[in-house]
Amino acid sequence: MKRPRSYRIYACLPLLVLVASCDLIRIKKEKEGVTERKAVARAGTVYLYWDELEGVVPPGTERGDSLARVSAFIDSWIRKQMLINEAMRNIDINEAEVERKVLDYRYSLIAYQYQKFIIDQRLNNQVSPAEIESYYKEHLDNFMLKQNIIQGTFLKVPKGAPRTNRLKDLILSTREKDINELKSYCLSFSEAYHLSDSLWMEFDKMVVNTPLAEIPNKIQFLQSYKFYETSDNDYLYYLKIDAYKISDNISPLEFVREDIKNIILNKRKVEIARQLENEVYEKASQQKDFEVFGQQ
């Protein structure tokens, strides 16, 4: 029974990208004066030529790695061509649709490279604190916490470490002398540590692989303790909580500052790409570099 044409078209769609990829691989860089090309491989009636391997091996690659890269490329090319040949024998391929997808794919590759080139030239990477704060205030609903976060001090210290009886006092002290002594101690004896600063940390990441990770109700724990210490067979654990924010509340600005900066930069990149496309189109239109013929 012959399959309906609509089914045949959809059945071949997963292979269209393969077709596009292989055709793009085989796009020939025509060179004036070259009348003969040397083949490196054959798949059915299709040949892969040596000049089509240009760019497969980056400059400076060692000979052994070069041979491995070329061999892998040839093997991949053969496998794709064989799959395409098998597809052509077993399903009806809409050649016009394939060509449109090849053109779209080729456009995407070339346009992306040019857009990236222009974006690198035009992009202003400086994002002021005022811009970040403004974006934050205008999009507060986009910055809801998905986890509990804290500011504080955390220490993981081997049980055999010296002067552990002093650690609680040092952690709770605000004297500069004690703060410096705690830093020195952590560098010398702690297995892991984070000292108080303005940085917000995900609570679960801070206490991962410790007894604190097994606390059943972390929200209640954060609400109940400013200082907590515990131990297991090998280590002592100390936690001081200076501030905390519970999940499903709005993130502090400092916790999402870098994310907002990246959002603003990405928006600038999108705008530069849009402007570039419009500039190229308008220039071509003024110079009459394209025309649309009437449909019959």
Give the domain ranges of the chain.
5-97, 129-136+252-285, 146-245
| Vertex 110 angle, CA 105 and 112, to 5° | 95
pLDDT-derived band at 87 (thresholds 50, 70, 90) equals confident
Q: Average pLDDT for residues 19-39, to the nearest whole number?
A: 53
Percent of the chain with pLDDT strictly greater than 70: 87
Residue 11 pLDDT greater than 70, yes or no: no
Higher local confidence (pLDDT), 87 or 240: 240
Percent of the chain with pLDDT strictly greater than 90: 70
Q: In angstroms, how far is the first alpha carbon of the chain from the final one?
A: 36
Residue 88 pLDDT greater than 80, yes or no: yes
**Cβ partners under 8 Å of residue 139, min gap 6:** none
Contact 210, 182 (CB under 8 A): no
Average pLDDT, the chain: 87
Strand partners, 244: 150
Q: Average pLDDT for residues 211-240, to the nearest whole number?
A: 95
Q: Which phi-psi region, left, alpha or beta, contains residue 194 (left: φ > 0; alpha: ψ -120 to 50)? A: beta
Residue type, 148: N
Q: Give SS3 for 291.
A: coil
**Cα–Cα distance for residue pair 40/147, rounded to 1 Å:** 56
pLDDT-derived band at 36 (thresholds 50, 70, 90) equals confident
pLDDT-derived band at 30 (thresholds 50, 70, 90) equals very low
Nearest by Cα to 259 from 146, 174, 96: 146
Residue 195 pLDDT greater than 70, yes or no: yes
